Structure 1
Amino acid sequence: MKRFASIAFATAIALFLQGCAGWQSALDPKGPAASELAWLIWFFTGLCAAVWVLVMIALALPLMMRPRERAEPLVIDADADNRKLRVVLTAVALTAVILVGLTLLSFIANRTLAAIGSDAALTIRVTGHQWWWEVRYEDATPSRILTTANEIHIPAGEPVRLLLTSTDVIHSFWIPSLSGKLDLIPGRMNVLDIKADKPGVYRGQCAEFCGAQHANMGTFIIAEPREKFDAWRNDQLQPAAAPMSDEAKTGENLFLRRPCVMCHKIGGTPAGGTVAPDLTHVASRQTLAAGTLTMSRGNLAAWIADPQGVKPGSHMPVVDLSGDELNAIVAYLEGLK
């Protein structure tokens, strides 16, 4: 029985610790901001645990000690009272020192975080929608401004400045492995500086309840070497590729004649909607519907055919399409890479 209990306890601990690593964990830092926050978390946790242990010891000792017999119980023991007073005053002083120390550490950490983006060469505006992320790469040259959705490509090893805002309700941008949380508030622009130490894909999540599909409002930071990032950005600035097959050409015509064109934009075509994600290079993304589905022909068809079945409450309406029409539109969108 004892062996079984030990195995069960070890298994439970192992499962619990699985939450401390991976691509969406604040305890698995991959950038300077996350490292600073992780160090702060561990220090706060260790110090608070030590304080708790000391308090428990202080409570247990009087309960375990047998009271000393006194000849005159009503006579005041001045020495004992003085010792107790010194213990209380010492505890109060230590509490004050700990609180002031933790406050100073938080202040120093905030200054460190603020300095990360002081020399950022890349600025990205991230706008929260119910329930997806609009990503706009700012540039002094208007023709170099790029808009995409849900995936944020950045050069690895370089600081990036994110300008955060929202069009509807309060959202919260959080990439645990790279930074702390920061709210996106309608009518306000907040600034978050991030930096990825090395190339990789880092998952994020809206961390402020924003409606029915809050849990399905994910995002991905894709950190790449500078050369690969520049190549990606140049590709994304190009207009949509012209459809090659007859089915894809039919799909383009259907897309431009159906309600899709009222909400979505596809560069190089008359589609110029601004209330839904830009689809100019939609097939180059790893996921659909803000991380809800992986990118594939089947998932693309499922999302177009029944968006409410995939993501109930989303603002994408159901469009009445026959099987052939659905396949044609999917074939067209599959070519937008």
Structure 2
Amino acid sequence: MIDGFRGWPPPVLDPAGPHAASVAVLSWALIAMAVTVFAIVMLALYIALFGKESTRKRLGENKAIVALGFIFPVVVLTALLVWGLTLTSKLSKPADGEPFRVEISGEMWWWRVAYKDAGGQVWLHDANELHIPVGRPVEIELRSADVIHSFWVPRLSGKLDMIPGRLNRLRLQADRAGVYGGQCAEYCGGPHALMGFTVVAHDPADFARWEAMRRMPPARGAAGTELFERAGCAACHRIAGTPANGLAGPDLTHVATRRTLGAGILPNNRGTMIGWIADSQALKPGNRMPPYKVLSGAELQLLADHMGSPK
């Protein structure tokens, strides 16, 4: 994965928000329990093979079997269950105050992102990248357009499945600014392993600047509009302020500002954008964008200009 993910796989047990912290604490408890059980089993095996006969006889008595084989596991596992349910109940509690609302749809093999205002109206379409304010709870509506996917940003929350025909809600929060990597955590066929995601958490002032920029149409090369339509790009992609209004593929209005291309597999720059347009199948085999090998170098440059790519 690209450098924007700060290493891959993400550090699962290094939480950067309260929801991920609950999952990390529970994970450490389960790891400690597994180590303890393994140690007890190894001790019992040692006693059975090399221990004193008197010790083996005492452990083989009915009282010892009932106490160690039934009462002890029931008490420990019940306590762990109650504590785990209490701990994870925080993951589904309603947010304090007005949460930042986003809808994310998993699709083969990328993520459709829609930002919503307090009234539930979408004010920005994007893809494969989520920008959030630090310290504010985020409520994500999770959907799937085709098969089962699973949204997972380990440092910010636990994973939650995205099931066709069903709406699930996931809450996350970042306590510090940074870039956090995510991944589809449910095998969904084809290039599932290349279905990454990026969450960018901004300090409040930086987030206000980001939001203001997103509410303004980006500069683009107007000369590429006709080529964009003639090549068939507009049938699948939308670019605000142009005739392109396709819905099958990612919204490309702000594609030049994203950190990655191809749902996390490439850093986003002019060269990778041109390479992706020319032959995305060579970069991410099985994705649903056809190759455009018929386009000349000049035409590829023109399309890159049209989408606002840097020189």
* TM-score when normalising by structure 2: 0.90
Q: CA deviation at 1:334?
A: 3.1
2:23 corresponds to 1:37: yes
Residue 132 of structure 2 aligns to a residue whose secondary structure is strand
- Opposite residue 280 of structure 1, the aligned amino acid is T
State how far apart, in whole Å, the 2-side matches of 1:82 and 1:58 are: 9
Q: CA deviation at 1:117?
A: 3.0
Q: Which residue of 2 aligns with 1:289?
A: 262
State how far apart, in whole Å, the 2-side matches of 1:84 and 1:141 are: 67
Change (3 A) 1:192 1:309: same
Gaps of 5+ in 2: 1-6
State how far apart, in whole Å, the 2-side matches of 1:93 and 1:29 are: 35
Q: CA deviation at 1:81?
A: 7.1
Residue 334 of structure 1 aligns to a residue whose secondary structure is coil
Correspondence for 2:170 among 164, 181, 192: 192
1:143-183 superposed Cα distances (whole Å, 9 cap, x missing partner): 76211000000001111000001000000000011111100
Q: Which residue of 2 aligns with 1:146?
A: 124
Q: Which residue of 1 aligns with 2:39?
A: 53
Mean alpha-carbon deviation: is it higher for 136-145 or for 251-260?
Answer: 136-145
* TM-score when normalising by structure 1: 0.84
Q: Which residue of 2 aligns with 1:24?
A: 10
1:18-42 superposed Cα distances (whole Å, 9 cap, x missing partner): xxx9771221111111111111111
Mean alpha-carbon deviation: is it higher for 196-205 or for 253-262?
Answer: 253-262
State how far apart, in whole Å, the 2-side matches of 1:327 and 1:82 are: 78
1:211-230 alignment runs, 5 A limit: 211-230=189-208
Q: Which residue of 1 aligns with 2:248?
A: 275
State how far apart, in whole Å, the 1-side matches of 2:59 and 2:111 are: 63
1:1-337 alignment runs, 5 A limit: 24-67=10-53, 84-91=61-68, 92-115=70-93, 117-140=95-118, 145-243=123-221, 249-319=222-292, 320-335=294-309
State how far apart, in whole Å, the 1-side matches of 2:241 and 2:119 are: 19
1:35-55 superposed Cα distances (whole Å, 9 cap, x missing partner): 111111111111221122122
Residue 312 of structure 1 aligns to a residue whose secondary structure is coil
More contact order relative to length (CA 8 Å, sep ≥ 6): 2
State how far apart, in whole Å, the 2-side matches of 1:25 and 1:116 are: 27
Gaps of 5+ in 1: 1-20, 69-79, 244-248
Change (3 A) 1:236 1:307: same
Mean alpha-carbon deviation: is it higher for 194-203 or for 97-106?
Answer: 97-106
Contact 2:145 2:164 in 1 (8 A): yes
State how far apart, in whole Å, the 2-side matches of 1:30 and 1:82 are: 46
State how far apart, in whole Å, the 1-side matches of 2:117 and 2:32 are: 45
Instruction: Provide the identity percentage.
Output: 41
1:251-286 superposed Cα distances (whole Å, 9 cap, x missing partner): 233113320011111111111111111111111001
1:52-76 superposed Cα distances (whole Å, 9 cap, x missing partner): 21222122113213547xxxxxxxx
State how far apart, in whole Å, the 2-side matches of 1:232 and 1:202 are: 17
- Opposite residue 294 of structure 1, the aligned amino acid is P
- Opposite residue 267 of structure 1, the aligned amino acid is A
Contact 1:199 1:225 in 2 (8 A): yes
- Give the length in aligned residue pairs: 300
**RMSD between aligned residues:** 2.1
Residue 145 of structure 1 aligns to a residue whose secondary structure is strand
Q: Which residue of 2 aligns with 1:16?
A: none
Q: CA deviation at 1:112?
A: 1.6
Contact 1:152 1:221 in 2 (8 A): yes
- Opposite residue 106 of structure 2, the aligned amino acid is G
Q: CA deviation at 1:242?
A: 4.3
State how far apart, in whole Å, the 2-side matches of 1:226 and 1:65 are: 64
1:291-312 superposed Cα distances (whole Å, 9 cap, x missing partner): 1110111111110000111111
Contact 2:22 2:88 in 1 (8 A): no
State how far apart, in whole Å, the 1-side matches of 2:259 and 2:81 are: 41
Q: CA deviation at 1:223?
A: 0.3
Residue 165 of structure 1 aligns to a residue whose secondary structure is strand
Contact 1:116 1:159 in 2 (8 A): no
State how far apart, in whole Å, the 2-side matches of 1:122 and 1:209 are: 29
Change (3 A) 1:257 1:45: same
Mean alpha-carbon deviation: is it higher for 80-89 or for 220-229?
Answer: 80-89
